[in-house]
Amino acid sequence: VSVPVSVVLERKGAEVITVEADALVAAAVAALSQHGIGALVVTAADGGVRGIISERDVVRCLAEHGSTSLTDPVSRHMTTDVVTCGLDSTTDDLMSIMTERRIRHVPVVDAGALAGIVSIGDVVKSRLDSLEVETQALQQYVTGSS
């Protein structure tokens, strides 16, 4: 049932919405809302991964510092110690990582470059799709139909 991250990305696409570290938190909030996503990868000028800022970081900075934090740079509120995975990691690996680290987004890095992002929603969808295929195969086996 577990599939490689490369397959997940083939199905959902490799696009990653990013934000620069010196952009304002308000711009990050706008991007999260516009794209209907929960986290943005923060990139350096060379395109490398510098951090990640999720809706949870925004809620925390608003709760702790109020709305003035909307004009802070993203770099002040992002997480810099980013957990990433490779293309040959599996959905099972990601479920463990997401559960243990309490994160819902894992950027995919291949040969030092950002190659995609997998969210907890992508993992759940992939899991359900595989279960459906497995169930159909078992039904066919039991009923003898093909």
Interface characters, 30-69, with ligand AMP (x: CB under 6 A): --------xx------------xxxxxx------------
Min dist. Cβ of residue 39 to ligand AMP (A)? 5
Smaller CB separation from ligand AMP, 59 or 138: 59
Min dist. Cβ of residue 82 to ligand AMP (A)? 4
Q: What angle is formed at CA 15 by the lines to CA 14 and CA 17, rounded to 5 degrees?
A: 145
Q: Residue holding tokens 């997401």?
A: 98
Interface characters, 66-105, with ligand AMP (x: CB under 6 A): -------------x-xxx-------------------xxx
DSSP 8-state symbol, 115: E
Q: Which residues pair with 42 in a beta bridge?
A: 19, 51
Spatial distance between the Cα atoms of 103 and 56, rounded to a whole number of angstroms:
10
Min dist. Cβ of residue 112 to ligand AMP (A)? 16
Min dist. Cβ of residue 133 to ligand AMP (A)? 28
Residue in 72, 36, 35, 43 with CA at minimum distance from that of residue 57: 72
Smaller CB separation from ligand AMP, 60 or 135: 60
User: What are the strands, taking DSSP E only, across the chain?
Assistant: 18-20, 39-43, 49-54, 105-110, 113-119
Q: Site residues (CB under 6 A) for ligand AMP?
A: 38-39, 52-57, 79, 81-83, 103-107
